[in-house]
A and B are shown apart, each in its own frame.
Chain A
Amino acid sequence: DTAVSQTPKYLVTQMGNDKSIKCEQNLGHDTMYWYKQDSKKFLKIMFSYNNKELIINETVPNRFSPKSPDKAHLNLHINSLELGDSAVYFCASSRVPGQPATNEKLFFGSGTQLSVL
């Protein structure tokens, strides 16, 4: 029944490795996001997709590549992981087509805590 689910919840890996985080939403939303929360709890948007199309791409290293196979899924692949990539990554979704009143709030997954050693 989880609305926005992301896996894995914890990810511990060595520097230089490549890893992926998966996200799925069952809310019928057509916009999905990736946010990064650092150790000081500051939350910053990385990407947003609307109906599989990349809409927002903040200043993120190109080692980060989002992929949206369909509007219910938005995965995040990270190449050549660095120590500074350690953070909690949140997936979120919003916007039910045709229902503007519900479009403006985000629904978040429970986060993936990434630790790069």
Chain B
Amino acid sequence: GAGVSQSPRYKVAKRGQDVALRCDPISGHVSLFWYQQALGQGPEFLTYFQNEAQLDKSGLPSDRFFAERPEGSVSTLKIQRTQQEDSAVYLCASSLAQGRTEAFFGQGTRLTVV
């Protein structure tokens, strides 16, 4: 497809359940970012990949959060033992190169932990 694709669009998880969120970036985009957007807030940075290398994971809120991009294309954000405070929209963005080029965002995955 032409844009960044995220799946699923909506996910309801019971507290304590593990979840995996998928991001398909635009083909050829080197940089990939994950952001967390709580209700009524701006997106907050979670982690950044350049190709398959995770260069910055300073925004991951706890060791329950894990992200990977093994072949430098599709990325997965995994959350273990979900908690209610994990409820948010998780946005993925990709860009052709870092910094000066536009980051294109997916529609996000809305995670609700009950």
The answer to whether A and B belong to the same complex is no
